[in-house]
Each structure stands twice: as C-alpha cells, then as structure tokens.
A and B are shown apart, each in its own frame.
Chain A
Amino acid sequence: MEHAMNEEEPESDIIIARNLHKTFPGPVAALVDFSVTVRRGEVLVIVGPSGSGKSTFLRCLNGLEEVESGSIIVDGIPLDDNQRHRLEIRREVGMVFQSFNLFPHLDVLENVSLAQRLVRGKSRAEARGCSLELLARVGLADKAASYPAELSGGQQQRVAIARALAMMPRVMLFDEATSALDPEMIGEVLDVMRQLAEEGMTMVVVTHEMGFAREVSDRVLFMEHGRVIEEGTPGEFFNHPRRQRTREFLRQIL
C-alpha cells in the first residue's frame, strides 16, 4: 500500500537511526549495530521473537531507553544530551503501550485532554473540543465521561491511541498494542490503526499480528538478537523470504 508523501518537506526520512548499540545487564545484547530509516508517511512493521530488541528499539526512539552508542534523528532533531531536543522529540512522537497506561484517576476526556493543556498550552474548552473529535474518530464519543476501569481492554487501547494523537504527533509508535487484549478486541484496535495508516500517519509498529503486517505495512523488518535479519515489502517478506531464519520464524507463527 502506498501512502501520500508530504511533498513540500525537503526531508523524506523522518526517522534515521544509525548503528544503535545497547546492552542490558546480562549476556544478551538488545541492539547490535542496528540501523533503520523510516520515510515520512511510511508504515514500518517490526516482527521477531520475544527478546529480539523490537520494543527496545521503539523505546529508544522517544528516549524511554538510552542507547549506548549510535545516533537517532527524528524529524531533523537529533536525540542527544540536549534536553530541549529530547523534549521536542517526546512531543512529536506518540506512543501506544501494550498495557494501555491510561491515567486511572482521570476520566476518558481528561486522559485525552491533559497533555494538550499542559504541553500544548490549549485552553480547557479547546482541548475538550479536540478530544471529543478524536474520541469520535476512535469510536468512543459516548465514553468521554467514563473512567478507564469501566472500559474494556479494546476501548482502553483506543482511548490511549486518541490520547497520543491529541498531541498531533508526526510519528506514532505502537509497542505490541494488541498483545494484552482478548482476541475479540484485537480487531477494533487494528481497525483504528489501519485507518490511521490510510490517513498517512508515519507508524512504527511492533506486533505479532501478521495479518496487519501483510495488509497495512509498507515494509516489514524482521529482527533477532538486536540485529536486522531481513526486511522488505510485505509481499516479498511473506511470500519470498530470503533468509532461512525468516522462513523458520514465519513457519512457527503462521
């Protein structure tokens, strides 16, 4: 699937990660000389066995984890020691977590509005209008006054997506967004993600949903032990995997 690219932007690569290296305490390296580039409007799906470094890579992209060496540039801003850069990147990169991480003491509307007011400086009324619009987009306009604990997992995750979108991010990261959901709720979250992809959002998606990868992504990246094993269009990747290890992985999960 091709996405409309933003023509007036001179830079077409929105994420440039070069030679990332990271280890956790223990023998296994999380990222080894890991390089990847994401184009504006691209949907990149990262797959791989657990512990392969997929989530670590995502978390490095918005500064939740520190890399030991290598460089990350997001939308022209280097992720370095400059706190202003880091803050800028945190604001421009939205993230959706496996465990939703909604704020349990705030209702749905406040969950979506909070950062708009605190970070974007919007008035309460402005944020409210924007939030209700976003909640309608994810199909939860009627849940604005509910508290997270009153919602199903699928609904909570859709609120979390709306909350991230409220910051008008230029990139959205999805860290196994459907892994904690009951099977019957996975579809509703994937639908929202698919819709987002169709609207041209740049997305980096770590998932085990191969159907989503096949249908929605522009590129699939398979990683293991912190390294890229293989990458390609979904057609190439799923139908003609080049590497033996990729074939084994696909056989196991499909």
Chain B
Amino acid sequence: MQWRSATRITSAVDVAKFLLTLGLLAWLVGRGSEQLGYQWHWRRIPAYLLTVTDGHWHAGPLLDGLLVTLEITAISLVLAAVIGLVTALLRLSGSLVGRILAIFYLETIRNTPLLVQIFFLYFVMAPILDISRFTTAVLALAFFEGAYASEIFRSGIVAIDRGQWEAAHSLGLSRLATYRHVILPQAVRRVLPPLTSQAISLVKDSALVSTIAVYDLTMQGRVIVAETFLVFEVWFTLAAIYLLLALALSLLVRLVERRLGSHGQTAWNMP
C-alpha cells in the first residue's frame, strides 16, 4: 500500500527530526557548560530526593518540596473549581449584583499579574486576616485559576442547547435541580479538556509561591542551588519533576474522560 509506506517514511522523518533537535540541545548545553567551565555533579542530586540511612528512607528536600507543591496544588485545584463554578453561575444568574460581582472579580484577576496578586495577598491581606504563608499561597492560586476556570465553566454551560432548559422547566424542575442534574453533568464533560489544561497551568503557576518563602518544590530547589551551586543539575531536575507532574495529571484526566464516556456511546453530545 502506497499511503502506508508514505506514512512510515513521514514518521521516520519525524523521529529523525526529533532526535536531531534533542542532540542539538544536548550539544548546546554541553558546549555552554564547557565554556563556562561548569563541573557536572549529577551524582549529588539523588541525595536531595531521597536518602537511605540504616535501612530507613528519608525524603530529601526536593521530595519534601514536591509534597508541599502537591498539597498546595490539590487544595487550590478543588477551591478553584468551586470558585470557578460559583462565579460562572453568578454570572449567568438573574441577579444584577451577582453578575457585577462576578465580572469585577474576573476582570481584576485576569488583568493583573499573578505575582502581584500573591504579593498583595501576602503583604496586605495576610497581616490583616492573620493567615499563614501556606494559606496565602493556596488562596492566591485558587482565586487566580478560579477566574479562568469560571470562564471555562460558563462556556460549557451556555453551549448546552436551550431545549434542555425548556424540557427541565416543563417537567417542573427547579433552577438548581436543572443545573445539578441536567446542565452541569453535560457541561462539565464538555469542558474537561480545557479544564485539564487549566489544572496543568495551576501546577506550573504554583512555582510562584516560592517568592513568599513557601517551601515548595521550587523554593527547595532555590535553597539547594544557593548552598551548593549545582545550578544546572537542580533546575534540570526541577523541570523534569514538573513535567512528570503535568503529564501524570493529563493522563489521569484522560482516564476519567474515558470512564465518563463509556456509557455505551461516546458521541452522545453530538447533535
């Protein structure tokens, strides 16, 4: 078959291009470090992840940091989803106050840098409200990602056919029941892919909380670098860990998606 051999050639070319790019990158880094007179000490890195003494495992600072990052990410993910959903519903509600509130929140968050928001919460709000650095970090991330999540939820909700509302209305369902049993189950399934990328953004944005001395993965990395000057090794390792985290997250969502779509058919939301 001609097209088959054609695709095989194309993929072979793709692999070759990929390897070439990778090689080029490695060469660039190698040459750069050589010029800098950089001494690689990769062997020292594992100890920052995990050490074994007397048959006991000890989490190194990087692993400690990873746990903090996971904790911050998980809590703010849940919070962001709640904030996002509530904001979307407020924006779509009949209440003028609700709509204005939602729009004010959205525009403020989306049009200021996350770093400024973190500093604002940390230096202005935290002393007033007497909240910890960890809580400040979680709140900042949740409010930031929640604004984007709310727009994703809203787009999913308004994409649902008007007929669904009308059918629920004619059956006597309340607005809340209609959202809960008819609209949201359909809307959430539709917006799962964009929500996932938002969640991945959250994982990556969480690195910014290191600026207020929350000992997350990035902060631990910075400390190690400051103490040991293992600049290249540590930042490469950090990048790899974030990459794995993001990939794991999208894999997880893909599994959830497949489970949700396994109700006998996958294309039920196609008109």
Contact = CB atoms under 8 A, between A and B. Distances in A.
Contacts of A63: 169
Contacts of B173: 114-115, 118-119
Contacts of B166: 64, 95, 97, 101
Interface string A68-109: 000000000000000000010011011101011111110100
> On chain B, which size bracket covers the interface?
20 to 34
A167 B172 contact: yes
Nearest to B162: A101
A115 B267 contact: no
Q: What is the size category of the interface that chain A forms with chain B?
A: 20 to 34
A131 interface: no
A93 B172 CA distance: 9
A164 interface: yes
A101 B172 contact: no
A64 B264 CA distance: 33
Given A163-B171, A164-B171, A103 B163 contact: no
B172 A90 contact: yes
B194 interface: no
Interface in A141-183: 146-150, 160, 163-164, 167, 173
A28 B267 CA distance: 39
B211 interface: no
Interface in A111-154: 114-115, 118-119, 146-150
B259 interface: no
B240 to A, nearest CB: 39
Q: List the 4 closest A-B pairs by CB distance, nearest first.
A: A91-B172, A101-B163, A101-B167, A115-B171
27 contacts: A62-B169, A63-B169, A64-B169, A64-B170, A90-B171, A90-B172, A91-B172, A94-B170, A95-B166, A95-B167, A95-B170, A101-B167, A105-B189, A105-B268, A118-B173, A118-B174, A118-B177, A119-B173, A119-B177, A147-B263, A149-B267, A163-B167, A163-B171, A164-B170, A164-B171, A167-B171, A167-B172
Interface of B: 161, 163-164, 166-167, 169-174, 177, 181-182, 185-186, 189, 263-265, 267-270
Interface of A: 62-64, 87, 90-91, 93-95, 97, 99-105, 107, 114-115, 118-119, 146-150, 160, 163-164, 167, 173
